[in-house]
Amino acid sequence: MAATVNTRKLARTMLMPAVIILFIWMIVPLLLTIWYSFQNYNLINPVNAGFAGWSNYKYFLTDPAFFQAFANTLILTLSVLAITVIGGILLGLLLDQFIYGQGIVRILVISPFFIMPTVAALVWKNMLMNPNYGIFAWIATRLGFAPVAWLETFPLLSIILIVAWQWLPFATLILLTALQSLDEEQKEAAGMDGANFASLFVYITLPHLARAITVVILIETIFLLSVFAEILVTTSGGPGYASTNIAYLIYHQALLDYDVGGASAGGVVAVILANIVAIFLVRLVGKNLDA
Amino acid sequence: MKLNRHLAGFASLVAIAAAGPALAETTLTIATVNNGDMVRMQTMTDDFTKANPDIKLQWVTLEENQLRQKVTTDIATKGGQYDVLTIGTYEVPIWSKNGWLVPLDNLGADYDVDDLLPAIRSGLSTDGKLYAAPFYGESSYVMYRKDLMEKAGLTMPDAPTWDFIRQAADKMTDRANGINGVCLRGKAGWGENMAFLTAMSNSFGARWFDEKWQPQFDQPEWKNTLQFYVDLMKADGPAGASSNGFNENLTLFQQGKCGMWIDATVAGSFVTDPKASTVADKVGFALAPDTGLGKRGNWLWAWSLAIPAGSAKVEAAEKFVGWATSKHYTELVAAKEGWANVPPGTRTSLYKNADYLKAAPFAQMTIDSINSADPTKPTVKPVPYTGVQFVAIPEFQGLGDTVGQIFSAALAGQTSVDDALKQAQDVSTRTMTKAGYIK
Amino acid sequence: MARAISPQKKWTFTILAWIVALIIFFPILWTFLTAFKTEGDAILFPPAFLPPHWTLENFFEVQTRSNYFKHFFNSVVISVGSTLIGLVIAVPAAWSMAFAPTKRTKDILMWMLSTKMMPAVGVLVPIFLIFKNLGLLDTLGGLTGILMLINLPIMVWMLYTYFREIPIDILEASRMDGAVLWKEIVYILLPMAIPGIASTLLLNVILAWNEAFWTLNLSAANAAPLTAFIASYSSPEGLFWAKLSAASTLAIAPILILGWFSQKQLVRGMTFGAVK
């Protein structure tokens, strides 16, 4: 890179506004959260106030829901990643073929991405998954099964389905773009050598998609770790703690207990966990994106 | 940020442009729930603004939980975004003790505060001062299908026992025709399944806490309550009951899928409304069940209008609250939409009104239910708290929600009744210790 | 492309693709259809696919109960506003990271993304207090600012990956020709970067439009966008599926139509460096 000293200076100046603004946006809430996490601060009980020591952390980490919430967060994130990446590749391969009405098909497939999470969750909960009037119940009775109370019997799976439906279009778009950039000649050459579809896919297509998959995982993880609206609208984290994730647990403390101290401690814990995930992601991204 | 100020300025310009030239007017921001009676209130406001041309009304209508969160956050941090709040009997005692509400002693000369139902009025007062004006009040009762009851060969007494309810439910259940003997709340939430279960537990002699704030879920009374509830729902309840709240059950009942439904008295006008209900002419009413211990399983609630302390618009807000909860408002609704649609459960005079009693078949049972609820002595054994279907302490909503989740898991069959009670006991002990009740 | 595709294969793929697409689209289609049903027809079982009695009643009722156009206006202002302000900050930052990278560039980028990992609920009260003290509660300015902040990392990342693919040689060639920096940016970089910027703009308008936590909790009446509009229909007493569907249709239609018409532009720049 032959950037001159001047351009370097200029580059730094241009970078600064974004860095400073994001730094403030990060540090101010973070410091306040750390501060509150050591306080007894309940919005609706102003009497019980003062320095709390580590008790907020103690209570958050020993919460009977904590480990399940932690596990649910991982299950939710990994399942949605798996569904959207695999589904995205398959859909991408399909949409990469010659199809009559391709434009419309593509529009239909990407549409869920534009839907507000609350709307998506409300529609799925009421009009699809309702065991008495929902479409799924109707399909089940048509096939001769008893209707399934989705949100009661498979709460976490239901949420995974809803969230995966929202993110599948994103994965499909990115992966499809990557597929389309795959050199046609490369494929043809391999095809002439007698490679069948499977080996073509494993040796040519998949390696080519590695970067795209990485990107999908990275961006989605950021959003999936804090999935919350879908849970609030559909199951409120239940039955029991069956669909509670960390974000929902913190929500419970912040807006049902109004326990600002406890929610702050939860926030700090979540940041630490998220950063552990981030370190893994950085490794992954670093490996795949630099190459 | 300068740009923010510009944008804010731009926004207020738009607001002013929309409001017209009368700059002297006061705009009241009213936060309310998206329930039918409140939605109707919004269509009635011409009457108010005609009488008070200098007051403009602006509504924030939200689903109950959203509303509660936003209003609580706002008032606790003195955000000052709202001038009139819609809150319930749970919030009023706690908030008034925190000094967050304006006492309402200026509701107009013809307000007739003594006309308010005593049980409701006492629930909304602290130290003899009224802190919120009831917009509509409710208790809970049994709604049942007269035709199915007859088919089962039974007669519903005016004051049934739980055993009778179970017996009737068993007989009415007809899965092949999609009829569930009984529909009860199962959706987790302190205002959903826990409102029902706490009221029910009162009639089984249970209590949340003893006089020393020790949780009582390890006692046999709670075990009886929860076991009865889970067994009953398993045998005679609808599919997916653990996600059914008031609204889901209302739909089921209106569609003729429930033999009995024990829930809020306001549901009476919905299930007897021929426009929405397929069973409108077949519904009977009875008091909530008991077990002969002296308490019935019915609750007491009033959605009420309150004014936040520190508001700069108290005078205008008082005028509005006075209007919305007055006898005049009741007459206004009756004239425009019929007597069956007036907000129920707040005034004695309404239940002496012959027109109303004629239009509302559920009226007598509603007032009897409200009168039989006693928030100051809700349980068989003594307790340190008030509130029938809730415990009026700040920690209750969080705790009630958690216990509600645990019990809804028991209903869904994911935990046993014993495990659920043990978890509830543990989590209550934790919460009460953290909050400093248990030393 | 040299290979001929047999018609049989074409039709197989076409049918398969249409089936999958319709399944994926079904929940949205169902919402649209339900919006035109009466409340009673909306919960018919077995369900009626097409409304047995077409009606616009739900839309009228929704409009009399809440002022759709005001919420719509607020949504447009905050989503477009936050994106434009974000672009002003993100374009220079992405430019400098793409064309004058240092050893730290990657770290800075990841750090920026990591600011998105803080769970919003955990910081609601602190942010609410800050907003209150700055007088930003329930203002379009406040909401615009917060949406800009939460989307800024994505914008920087997206632009950075796009800019990086612009061949640096061209810029250097122009620099050799003595082009000054602003000319370099305006005449060379911008035209090549337009697709990336356009797609960043679209994606962030979409994300901001659909953001439902901050917009709901930091607004009351004046600045409440469509997310708050939806919250007043989510579970009232009585039957509500048709009204909810009508409200949902009104809330998602603008962004859905925008998405449909701009999907080519959206896709073109949204590679996040996925394509080499």
What is the helix (H) or strand (E) element at residue B328, kind and residue range?
Answer: helix B327-337
* Distance of alpha carbon B94 from the chain centroid: 16
- Better-scored residue on pLDDT, B386 or A201: B386
pLDDT for the residue numbered B349: 94
Q: Which two tokens stand for residue A222?
A: 């950021």
Which of B241, B258, B257, B169 lies closest to B414 in space, CA to CA?
A: B241
Mutating which of C45, C130, C146, C222 best tests the B interface, going by the most B Cβ atoms within 10 A? C222
Most confident range (mean pLDDT) of A170-184, A226-240, B116-130, C4-18 is: B116-130
Q: Is residue B1 part of a domain?
A: no
Q: Which of A32-46, A198-212, B243-257, C1-15 has the lowest mean pLDDT?
A: C1-15
CB distance C239–B251 less than 8 Å?
yes
Within 22-51 of A, beta carbons closer than 8 Å to C belong to 22, 25-26, 28-30, 32-33, 36, 43
- Angle at CA of residue B265, ends B262 and B266, nearest 5°: 125
Q: Which of A88-92, A208-212, A278-282, B151-155 has the lowest mean pLDDT?
A: A278-282
pLDDT single digits (tens) C119-134? 788 888 889 889 999 9
Residue C63: pLDDT band with limits 50, 70, 90: confident
pLDDT for the residue numbered A195: 67
DSSP alpha helix (H) spans, chain A: 5-37, 55-61, 66-95, 102-110, 117-123, 135-142, 150-153, 155-180, 184-192, 197-200, 206-224, 229-234, 246-255, 260-290
pLDDT of C189 over the 80 cut = no
In this structure, are B397 and B345 located in the same domain? no
In this structure, are B83 and B49 located in the same domain? yes
pLDDT of A188 over the 60 cut = yes
As a whole number of angstroms, the distance between CA A164 and CA C195 comes to: 28
CB distance C140–B79 less than 8 Å?
no
pLDDT single digits (tens) B137-150? 999 999 999 999 99
In this structure, are B270 and B324 located in the same domain? no
* Residue B270 Cα, gap to closest chain C Cα (Å): 7
Q: Is residue B2 part of a domain?
A: no
pLDDT of A288 over the 90 cut = no
Within 271-290 of A, beta carbons closer than 8 Å to C belong to 271, 274-275, 277-278, 281-282, 285-286, 289-290
* Residue B8 Cα, gap to closest chain C Cα (Å): 5
- Better-scored residue on pLDDT, A8 or A32: A32
Of C18, C30, C100, the CB nearest to A127: C30
CB distance B394–A258 less than 8 Å?
yes
pLDDT for the residue numbered A204: 82
For residues B14-22, average pLDDT: 45
Of A43, A55, A256, the CB nearest to B76: A43
What number of C-beta contacts closer than 8 Å exist between B and C? 119
* Residue A270 Cα, gap to closest chain C Cα (Å): 7
Mutating which of B4, B180, B243, B431 best tests the A interface, going by the most A Cβ atoms within 10 A? B243
CB distance C140–B247 less than 8 Å?
no
pLDDT for the residue numbered B240: 86
pLDDT of B247 over the 50 cut = yes
Of A43, A64, A238, the CB nearest to B408: A238
Cβ contacts of A13 within 8 Å, gap of 6 or more = none
Against chain A, the chains showing at least 3 CB pairs within 8 Å are B, C
Give domain limits for chain A.
Answer: 66-243
pLDDT of C1 over the 90 cut = no
**C-alpha separations of A250 from A78, A247, B393 in Å:** 20, 5, 21
CB distance B409–A238 less than 8 Å?
yes
Within 194-223 of B, beta carbons closer than 8 Å to C belong to none
Which of B82, A218, B96, B400 lies closest to C110 in space, CA to CA?
A: A218
From chain A, the residues in CB contact with B403 under 8 A are none
The DSSP bridge pattern shows strands A50-51 and B180-183 to be: unpaired
Against chain C, the chains showing at least 3 CB pairs within 8 Å are A, B
Q: Is B69 on the interface with C (CB under 8 A)?
A: yes
Q: Is B256 on the interface with C (CB under 8 A)?
A: no
* Residue B97 Cα, gap to closest chain A Cα (Å): 10
From chain C, the residues in CB contact with A107 under 8 A are 260, 263
As a whole number of angstroms, the distance between CA A239 and CA A261 comes to: 26
b/e map A88-118, b = 16+ CB within 10 Å: bbebbbbbbeebeeeeebbbbbbbbbbbbbb
pLDDT single digits (tens) A248-266? 998 888 888 888 899 999 9
The DSSP bridge pattern shows strands B55-62 and A50-51 to be: unpaired
As a whole number of angstroms, the distance between CA B339 and CA B344 comes to: 10
DSSP secondary structure string, A66-120? HHHHHHHHHHHHHHHHHHHHHHHHHHHHHHTS--TTHHHHHHHHHGGGGS-HHHH
Q: Is B253 on the interface with A (CB under 8 A)?
A: no
CB distance A258–B76 less than 8 Å?
yes
As a whole number of angstroms, the distance between CA B371 and CA B9 comes to: 52
Cβ contacts of B168 within 8 Å, gap of 6 or more = B144, B149, B152, B154, B156, B160, B181, B259, B260
pLDDT for the residue numbered A192: 64
pLDDT single digits (tens) B402-431? 999 999 999 999 999 999 999 999 999 999
Q: Is residue B344 part of a domain?
A: yes
In this structure, are B264 and B350 located in the same domain? no
* Residue B26 Cα, gap to closest chain C Cα (Å): 15
Of B14, B43, B247, the CB nearest to C235: B247
pLDDT of A199 over the 90 cut = no
In this structure, are B212 and B319 located in the same domain? no
pLDDT for the residue numbered C151: 92
pLDDT for the residue numbered A81: 96
Asked whether C129 and B77 are in contact (CB, 8 A), the reply is yes
Structure-token match 């949420």, residue found: A159
* Residue A152 Cα, gap to closest chain B Cα (Å): 6
Query: Could you say which of 2.60.40.10, 3.30.460.80, 1.10.3720.10, 3.50.30.30 is the CATH number of the domain covering A66-243?
Result: 1.10.3720.10
Which residue of chain A has the CA closest to B401?
A256
DSSP secondary structure string, B131-146? -SEEEEEE-EEEEEEH
pLDDT for the residue numbered C221: 86
Structurally, how many domains does chain B consist of? 2
* Residue C73 Cα, gap to closest chain A Cα (Å): 17
As a whole number of angstroms, the distance between CA A164 and CA C31 comes to: 19
* Residue C26 Cα, gap to closest chain B Cα (Å): 24
Which residue of chain B has the CA closest to A44?
B394
Furthest CA-CA distance within chain B = 76
As a whole number of angstroms, the distance between CA B344 and CA B340 comes to: 9
C219, HSE (Cβ side, Cα atoms, 13 Å): 35
Which of A192, A56, A167, A99 lies closest to C210 in space, CA to CA?
A: A167
A114, HSE (Cβ side, Cα atoms, 13 Å): 25
* Residue B60 Cα, gap to closest chain C Cα (Å): 6
In this structure, are B218 and B158 located in the same domain? yes
CATH number at residue B343: 3.40.190.10
Backbone φ and ψ of A241, nearest 5°: -110, 20
In this structure, are B416 and B290 located in the same domain? yes
Within 222-261 of C, beta carbons closer than 8 Å to A belong to 226-227, 230-231, 234, 241, 244-245, 248, 251-252, 255-256, 258-260
From chain C, the residues in CB contact with B62 under 8 A are 228, 231-232
Region of B62 on the Ramachandran plot (φ > 0 left; ψ -120 to 50 alpha; else beta) = beta
Threshold 0.95, pTM exceeds? no
Name the CATH architecture for the domain at C67-269: Orthogonal Bundle (1.10)
Q: Is residue B3 part of a domain?
A: no
From chain C, the residues in CB contact with B270 under 8 A are 237-238
Q: Is C46 on the interface with A (CB under 8 A)?
A: yes
Query: Which residue type occupies B92?
Result: V
In this structure, are B218 and B313 located in the same domain? no
pLDDT for the residue numbered A190: 67
pLDDT single digits (tens) B341-396? 899 999 999 999 999 999 999 999 999 999 999 888 899 999 999 999 999 999 99
In this structure, are B305 and B317 located in the same domain? yes
From chain B, the residues in CB contact with A48 under 8 A are 435-436
Q: Is residue B4 part of a domain?
A: no
pLDDT for the residue numbered C247: 93
CB distance B435–A149 less than 8 Å?
no
CB distance B398–A149 less than 8 Å?
no
Mutating which of A132, A232, A250 best tests the B interface, going by the most B Cβ atoms within 10 A? A132
Residue C190: pLDDT band with limits 50, 70, 90: confident
pLDDT single digits (tens) B107-126? 988 899 999 999 999 999 99
Which of C223, A247, A126, A104 lies closest to B81 in space, CA to CA?
A: C223
From chain C, the residues in CB contact with B79 under 8 A are 128, 132, 137
Which residue of chain A has the CA closest to C156?
A18
Residue C276: pLDDT band with limits 50, 70, 90: low
Q: Which two tokens stand for residue A128?
A: 């699809």
Which residue of chain C has the CA closest to A225?
C117
- What residues of chain C have any CB closer than 8 angstroms to a CB in chain B? 39-40, 43, 64-66, 73, 77, 81, 85, 124-125, 128-129, 132, 135-142, 144-145, 216-217, 220-224, 228, 231-240
pLDDT single digits (tens) A160-177? 999 999 999 999 988 998
For residues C264-271, average pLDDT: 76
Of B188, B427, B434, the CB nearest to A239: B188
From chain A, the residues in CB contact with B397 under 8 A are 256-258
Residue B328 domain boundaries? 19-138+301-359
Residue B29: pLDDT band with limits 50, 70, 90: very high
Residue C46: pLDDT band with limits 50, 70, 90: confident
Structure-token match 């239609």, residue found: C253
What is the helix (H) or strand (E) element at residue B123, kind and residue range?
Answer: helix B118-123
